[in-house]
């Protein structure tokens, strides 16, 4: 059975890689005389990793009571802005609709629980916006006519 030239070349390359890998492994074993202290890394007061231990003279005492563990709560907006719009669509059977803002031409979802009972399509309304599950919703809706 004849071995082609390419196969011989590939076999030679594989054998050479195996020998190089074995040689690197032996070099690592020969130079592995490092001690545990050589493997330790320290972090200085600025968060930089160094190989020297920190100076105990520079150590600062930190009061555990002053450490904030959570993110601060978002402050409430001071004032809700009243928007004006027109009821574009309202389905009284399902109890929801959409209001189109007269200034920005944006449409906002509203539920009947946030609107007066006698609301209908085409009514001019004043409303405020509130973030809902799927975006901004119109709330505190008042008829303006």
Per-residue pLDDT for 99 more than 80?
A: yes
pTM for the structure as a whole: 0.46
The mean per-residue pLDDT over the stretch 90-99 comes to 93
- Own/partner long-range contacts of 134-140 (Cβ < 8 Å, ≥24 apart): 134/109, 135/109, 136/108, 137/108, 137/109, 137/110, 137/111, 138/83, 138/85, 138/99, 138/108, 138/109, 138/110, 138/114, 139/110, 139/114, 140/80, 140/114
Give the separation between CA 84 and CA 138, rounded to whole angstroms: 10
CATH classification number, 83-143, choose in 2.130.10.10, 2.40.160.20, 2.40.50.140, 3.20.20.100 = 2.40.50.140
C-alpha–C-alpha distance, residues 9 and 16, integer Å: 11
The pLDDT value recorded for residue 2 is 66
Q: What is the domain partition of the chain in residue ranges?
A: 83-143
**pLDDT, tens digit, 9 for 90 and up, residues 29-87:** 887 666 777 778 888 878 889 888 888 787 778 888 888 788 767 766 555 788 899 99
Distances (CA, A) of 121 to 94, 99, 124, 129: 14, 9, 9, 19
User: What is the Cα–Cα distance from 136 to 110, expressed in whole angstroms?
Assistant: 9
State yes or no: pLDDT of 117 exceeds 70: yes
């Amino acid at each position: 059975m004849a071995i082609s030239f390419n196969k011989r070349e590939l076999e030679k390359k594989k054998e050479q890689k195996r020998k190089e890998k074995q040689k690197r492994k032996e070099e690592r074993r020969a130079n592995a005389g490092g001690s545990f202290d050589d493997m330790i890394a320290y972090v200085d007061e600025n968060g930089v990793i160094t190989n020297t231990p920190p100076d105990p003279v520079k150590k600062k005492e930190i009061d555990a009571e002053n450490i904030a563990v959570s993110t601060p709560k978002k402050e409430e907006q001071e004032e809700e802005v009243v928007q004006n719009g027109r009821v574009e669509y309202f389905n009284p059977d399902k109890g929801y609709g959409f209001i189109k803002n007269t200034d920005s031409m944006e449409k906002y979802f509203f539920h009947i629980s946030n609107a007066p009972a006698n609301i209908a399509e085409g009514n001019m309304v004043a409303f405020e916006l509130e973030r809902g599950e799927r975006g901004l919703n119109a709330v505190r809706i008042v008829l303006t006519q």
